[in-house]
């Protein structure tokens, strides 16, 4: 076939179509998911609730309690992204996010106003409630209450036999909402610790006191790194780690490893030295791997580890098997590693 005849020009460009559509309505887009801010409400001194109305490209029917969305904001001329848990889906087809100031994107998100629009992702994450009506233990600290509150609403809707909530926070974010639910649902046992007034931390003795059968039921935890680490240790030491589910709402600051490790991106034929997580180390070497949330939620930095030993910095799990999927943002090299990138 003649080369000139086989050429098919791109008559329609998605970015041009979106440009025209957004002149009609800010959230109109061909394929992208755009959402408009419909309400901004304070949750505490440093935390707000954003209500968003996504466009028709967002599959709101697929949202599961405990999931999050990745939001994309233009900050100083650069697109920045971060994941936030969905507090709830409203009857009006809107989603509520809880935003706490703890970084560049969060600060910019708190400055959004009603009418502003930006790009979001489809619902993502596997921090979701088990099926059936078996009891559950929900553990939260700080802004981790956003994901836990969503799971709580689902647990009550699912008519779980018992629901235990153990919540640590210096601010009473969603506290009154949970108190109201506890008055309405006798199967809900709620324990709130205001850490500004009492220095109570999560430990096995506290769980045994509040939830004597905690080892036998499914547990879900979201919150600060120290609390999450303690919760994981409790379930590991009791030999019931299979009952423990966790979600980190912010990146973990990983200390540099004692030994730097050589890393190879096989397809790109690039080599660099890693002393912290693989994503940050690659960026320090001038590389730009695809990424999103930087906290192991969105999966945009997922790739295949061809060989070598890595450790998940969130869970502590060590992977020494070849051809295994890893997430660059939460993986640290413990040996020379080759990656299929």
Domain residue spans in the chain? 14-120, 136-247, 261-340
At 1, is the pLDDT very low, low, confident or very high (cuts 50, 70, 90)? very low
Domain 136-247, CATH among 3.40.50.80, 1.20.190.20, 2.60.120.260, 3.40.640.10: 3.40.50.80
Angle at CA of residue 245, ends 243 and 250, nearest 5°: 160
**57 vs 32, more confident:** 57
pTM: 0.72
Over residues 22-32, mean pLDDT: 62
pLDDT, tens digit, for every residue of 37-95?
999 999 999 999 999 999 989 989 999 999 999 898 988 887 788 889 999 999 999 99
C-alpha to C-alpha distance for 165 and 329, rounded to whole angstroms: 30
Q: Could you tell me the pLDDT band of residue 26, with boundaries at 50, 70 and 90?
A: low
Partners of 44 in the beta sheet? 47
pLDDT higher than 90, residue 214:
yes
Banded model confidence at residue 25, pLDDT cuts 50, 70, 90: low
Among 12-16, 139-143, 210-214, the minimum mean pLDDT is found in 12-16
Residues 231-245: what's their mean pLDDT? 93
Instruction: Specify the pLDDT at position 255.
Output: 45
Is pLDDT above 50 for 6? Answer: no
The whole-chain average pLDDT of the chain stands at: 87
- Report strand pairing: 136-141 vs 163-169: parallel
Q: Which residues contact 120 (CB under 8 A, 6 or more apart)?
A: 33, 34, 35, 52, 54, 58, 69, 70, 71, 72
Topology adopted by domain 14-120: Elongation Factor Tu (Ef-tu); domain 3 (2.40.30)
Residues 151, 138 contacting (CB under 8 angstroms): yes
Residues 6 or more apart in contact with residue 62 via CB below 8 angstroms: 122, 123
State the average pLDDT over residues 236-254.
Answer: 77
pLDDT tens readout for residues 103-158? 888 999 999 999 999 999 889 888 999 999 999 999 999 999 999 999 999 999 99
Per the model's pLDDT, the better-predicted residue between 334 and 188 turns out to be 188
C-alpha 251/C-alpha 267 separation (Å) is 28
289-305 per-position pLDDT tens digit: 988 777 777 778 999 99
Class of 261-340 in CATH: alpha beta
* Per-residue pLDDT tens digits for 247-278: 865 544 444 455 789 999 988 889 999 988 99
pLDDT at 9: 47
């Amino acid at each position: 076939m003649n080369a000139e005849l086989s050429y098919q020009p791109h008559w329609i460009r998605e970015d041009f179509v979106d440009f025209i559509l957004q002149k009609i309505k800010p959230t109109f887009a061909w394929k992208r998911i755009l959402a408009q801010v419909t309400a901004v409400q304070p949750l505490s001194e440093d935390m707000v609730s954003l209500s968003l109305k996504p466009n028709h490209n967002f599959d709101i029917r697929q949202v599961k309690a405990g999931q999050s969305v990745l939001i994309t904001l233009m900050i100083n001329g650069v697109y920045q992204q971060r994941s936030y848990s969905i507090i709830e889906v409203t009857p009006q087809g809107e989603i509520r996010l809880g935003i706490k100031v703890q970084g560049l994107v969060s600060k910019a998100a708190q400055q959004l106003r009603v009418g502003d629009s930006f790009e979001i992702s489809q619902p993502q994450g596997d921090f979701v409630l088990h099926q059936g009506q078996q009891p559950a233990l929900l553990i939260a600290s700080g802004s981790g209450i956003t994901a836990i509150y969503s799971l709580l609403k689902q647990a009550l809707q699912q008519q779980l036999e018992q629901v235990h909530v153990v919540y640590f926070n210096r601010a009473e974010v969603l506290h009154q909402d949970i108190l109201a639910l506890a008055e309405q649902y006798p199967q809900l046992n709620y324990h709130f610790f205001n850490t500004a007034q009492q220095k109570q931390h999560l430990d096995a003795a506290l769980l045994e006191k509040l939830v004597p059968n905690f080892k036998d039921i499914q547990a879900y935890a979201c919150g600060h790194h120290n609390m999450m680490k303690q919760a994981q240790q409790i379930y590991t030491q009791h030999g019931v780690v299979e009952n423990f589910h966790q979600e980190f709402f912010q990146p973990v600051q990983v200390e540099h490893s004692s030994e730097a490790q050589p890393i190879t991106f096989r397809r790109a034929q690039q080599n660099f030295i890693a002393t912290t997580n693989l994503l940050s180390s690659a960026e320090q070497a001038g590389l730009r791997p695809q990424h999103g949330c930087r906290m192991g939620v969105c999966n945009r930095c997922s790739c295949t580890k061809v060989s070598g030993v890595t450790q998940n910095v969130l869970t502590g799990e060590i992977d020494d098997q070849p051809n295994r999927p890893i997430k660059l943002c939460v993986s640290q090299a413990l040996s020379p590693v080759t990656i299929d990138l």
